Amino acid sequence: MVFQVITKERGIIMTKNEQHWEKTRGLLFITLAIWFVFSIGIFLFGAELNEFGGPFGYPLIYWFTCQGSLGIFVVLIFWFANRQEKIDEEFGFAEREDN
C-alpha cells in the first residue's frame, strides 16, 4: 500500500509515505535523545551529581537510579505513543477503530 500522493516540501518531491517516515524518524530521535540523557548521560557524571540533594531528600543520582530515570521512561513511552498516533492520523495512516 504505497501512497502515490506527491507533495512538495523544501523543494524535494516526497511521497506521503516518505513524509510520514520523516516525521516518525524525527520523533524517534527526540525520544531517544531524552532516553539517552536519563539512561546514560547523567550517569557519566554520577559522582559529581550525587553531591546534590535530589527529590525527597535522597542524593540526586541515587534517586535517579532508584526512581527518577525509571519513572521518566514510563512517561516518555506514553508521550511517544501519543505523538506517534498524531503523526499517523495526520497522514491518514492510523488504524480504523473497529478492527
Partner 1 sequence: MKGNFIDNLPKVYGIYTGGFIGFIILMAIGEQMGMTAKAIGICFVAFTIAIYALIGWLSRTAQADAYYVAGRQVPTVFNGMATAADWMSGASFVAMAGGIYFKGYGYMALLVGWTGGYVLVATLLAPYLRKFGCYTVPDFIGTRYGGNLTRLLAVIVLTVASFTYVTAQINATGTIASVALDIPFQYAVYIGLVSILLCSMLGGMRGVTWTQVAQYIVLIVAYLLPVFWISNKIGGGFFPHFMLADEVARIGELEQQFGFVKNSAADLATVPKGLAGITKAHSAVNATPWAFISLALAMMMGTASLPHVMMRYFTTPSVKAARKSVGWSLFFIFLLYSSAPMLATLSKLSLIDPSLPTGIIGKSIADVQAIDWYQNWNAANLMFVSDFNGNGTLELNEFFMGGKAVVLATPEIAGLPYVISGLVAAGGMAAAMSTADGLILAIANAISHDVYYKMIDPKAETAKRLAVARVLLVVIGFAGATIAAMEIQGILGSVIWAFDFAMSGLFFPLVLGVWWKRANKEGAIAGMALGLASGMGYLIWVRNGGSGFLGITQLTFGIFGAAVSLVSMVVVSLITSAPDAATQRMVDNVRVPAGKSII
Nearest residue (CB) to partner 1, 6 versus 28: 28
CA dihedral 74, 79, 84, 87 (to 10 degrees): 180
d(CA 85, CA 33): 20
Q: Which of 22, 11, 12 is nearest to 91 (CA)?
A: 22
Site string for partner 1, 7-46 (x = CB under 8 A): ----------x--xx--x---x--xx--x--xxx--xxxx
Beta carbons of 2 and 16 less than 8 angstroms apart: no
Binding partner 1 (rule: CB under 8 A), the pick from 10, 12, 13, 57 is: 57
The footprint of partner 1 (CB under 8 A) covers 1-2, 17, 20-21, 24, 28, 31-32, 35, 38-40, 43-47, 50, 56-59, 61-62, 65-67, 69-71, 73-74, 76-78, 80-81, 84-85, 88, 92-96, 99
